[in-house]
Chain A
């Protein structure tokens, strides 16, 4: 068991280093320009957002429509701290402070509201994120509707990569622990979970708080990379965009969230050339995918060696039959 674990770790580590190295090389030789880099940054931020929301909605089964609110807290706290202390330690401190603040707000909001079920919780979280937005809109320190400008940029590809890979690894690890399984049992059957000794309230709040923490990290990444913040960036539409990534990828599938984040960024980039029709096509694609594949791209499965083998066997069967017929 221990050996197997170590082997898996090694494999994961190697593939991560390889992914990082390839992009870094392409940046160094200039194949990846600033525009593509910005797209990659958006993808990374969306991955962190989607994976953290998937923990809440896809794995714990708590329907949240307020993820943008937590993101905005991380973004503003990090932005304000980095403006005051424009050094790398300042930025890292800001990120931590932003994430922790988001987690604290998540905890405080989650404690009373997570007793609500389904759509009621969705509406309560939607209301919460709107309140956060309106508060930022009216605060002095955030510069209100005009927005916070000139946040020093510390996030480059290396930091993007570290934050994104770190978030995904931590959340996947959590989900593969007894605590993570306790969260998943709530999605499966809350009453049975409670009867089997799971303190469901505790684990709902825990999942919500962890999700909020990483949404805060994503906010900090955004603030530092795009160096400009205004409250309207974190409106209802933003929460919806994150939820769309999660549902499109498949609720309860981390690999699904990752794939969907990339896919949507690619679609969005392609549609960049038709600015007027961009949203029309995007929404149409969304509706069509939901009608024909309501469980999302991956369902609740993960991409794994076993899945590839299964696909391989399926292909073999298909092609095997073809041969027989010929």
Chain B
């Protein structure tokens, strides 16, 4: 039981990170139907910006995270403007290949500047390095921070999407781009804002992963990126609550397989579950199946 609770806590921390990244995938997919493969590299850049803030400027976790989020916001908007916007009317596969190209560009561009080697994040000091016991379960302050930050960011995101003008515009554009445009919504700036929001969340996730796992490298985005996307599909792509549910589910499954089963196969299990979900309920856990109109 204790071991189970311990795994649960670990799963929630990992799931938080997947959920944060998955939100970016799902929002962009919802609005322009693109699997933004470059998203996982925005997350990687976020981790590096946070690293720079902490190592060279000796800033604390919170300011570093905010700076990383700001940097990623700009990066996400720039990617959209330069690479995706000219392809607004191209075939989806052309945009997808572009996304893969941008992803490779960010990965190997970063590698060119910071070299391929793994870097160690500065370790936390003071209260953030502590951990405490609850009924035999070991919880580190970092895990608490990760979960708390994730929850705060999600509430903030829900507020923006549900209660603000620009959030309403986002929902309108994702339902019907042309109709939204006719209703006077600036589609371009709405798409840009969506990229900004998603990238900011990815930046936060990057810094959190850095402090949690302590090591970063230019290709660190690849696997978590794919898994976060899996999480988004799992919950129902295009749906914000779906990304949250999917993120926690994937994090939990991965930790449980790691803890109780064979850790070598943990990724395989995640993908197998994904395929099963897709076959049984292609629109994801929270999604609705739709049919093409004839």
Q: Do chains A and B touch in the complex (CB under 8 A)?
A: yes
* Interface membership of B274, Cβ < 8 A: yes
- How extensive is the interface on chain A, given as a class? 35 or more
Separation of A272 and B260 alpha carbons in the complex (Å): 46
Cβ of B92 within 8 Å of any chain A Cβ, yes or no, is: yes
Q: Whole-angstrom distance between the alpha carbons of A247 and B95 in the complex? A: 11
Q: Interface size (B, Cβ < 8 Å)?
A: 44
Q: What CA separation (Å) do A126 and B282 show in the bound complex?
A: 15
**Contact of B97 with A124 in the complex, beta carbons under 8 Å:** no
Query: What's the nearest-Cβ distance from chain A to residue B222, in Å?
Result: 7
Contacts of B264 in A (CB 8 A): 134, 137-138
Whether A236 contacts B226 by the Cβ 8 Å rule is yes
Which of A117, A123, A128, A286 is in CB contact (< 8 Å) with B104? A286
Q: Contacts A127-B274, A127-B275, A134-B267: A63 and B93 contacting too (C-beta < 8 A)? A: yes
B interface SS class: helix
Binds B, one of A27-35, A261-269, A273-281: A273-281
- In the assembled complex, how far is the CB of residue B105 from the closest CB belonging to chain A, in whole angstroms? 4
B residues less than 8 Å from A137 (CB atoms)? 264
Q: Contact: B35 with A191, CB < 8 Å?
A: no
* In the complex, chain B residues 75-121 whose Cβ is within 8 Å of any chain A Cβ: 83, 86-87, 90-95, 97-98, 100-105, 107-109, 111-112
B-side contacts of A251, CB under 8 Å: 93
B5 close to A (CB within 8 Å)? no
The answer to whether A295 touches B91 (Cβ under 8 A) is: yes
The residue on A at minimum CB distance from B37 is A240
- Whether A126 contacts B226 in the complex (CB less than 8 A), given A290-B94, A291-B86, A295-B94, comes out as yes
Q: Is B279 an interface residue (CB 8 A)?
A: yes
Q: Considering the complex, give the chain A residue whose CB is closest to the CB of B90.
A: A294
For residue B257, give the distance in angstroms from its CB to the closest CB of chain A.
Answer: 12
Residues of B contacting A290 with CB < 8 Å?
Answer: 87, 90, 94-95, 97-98, 101
Q: A134-B268, A191-B294, A283-B104 are in contact. Are A120 and B233 (CB under 8 A)?
A: yes
A127 lies within 8 A of B94 (CB): no
Whether A243 is near chain B, meaning CB under 8 Å from some CB there, is yes
In the complex, how many angstroms separate the beta carbon of B279 from the nearest chain A beta carbon?
5
Answer whether residue A319 sits at the interface, using C-beta atoms and an 8 A cutoff: no
Number of A-B contacts (CB under 8 A): 118
Closest chain B residue, CB of each to CB of A109: B275
Q: Is A123 a contact of B278 with CB atoms below 8 Å?
A: yes
Instruction: Say yes or no: A286 contacts B101, CB within 8 Å.
Output: yes
Contact A243 B97 (CB under 8 A): yes
Task: For the complex formed, measure the closest distance between the CB of B104 and the CB atoms of chain A, giving whole angstroms.
Answer: 4
| B229 part of interface (Cβ distance < 8 Å) | yes
**Are the CB atoms of A122 and B275 closer together than 8 Å?**
no
B233 in contact with A123 (CB, 8 Å): yes
23 chain-A/chain-B pairs, Cβ below 8 angstroms: A63-B93, A112-B279, A118-B92, A122-B35, A123-B230, A123-B274, A130-B226, A134-B267, A135-B268, A236-B222, A236-B226, A243-B97, A247-B97, A280-B108, A280-B112, A284-B101, A284-B105, A286-B97, A286-B100, A291-B86, A294-B87, A295-B91, A295-B94
Binding site for A on B (CB under 8 A): 29, 33, 35, 83, 86-87, 90-95, 97-98, 100-105, 107-109, 111-112, 222, 226, 229-230, 233, 237, 264-265, 267-268, 271-272, 274-275, 278-279, 282, 292, 294
Give the 7 A-B CB pairs with smallest separation, nearest first.
A294-B94, A127-B271, A279-B108, A283-B104, A294-B90, A286-B101, A283-B105
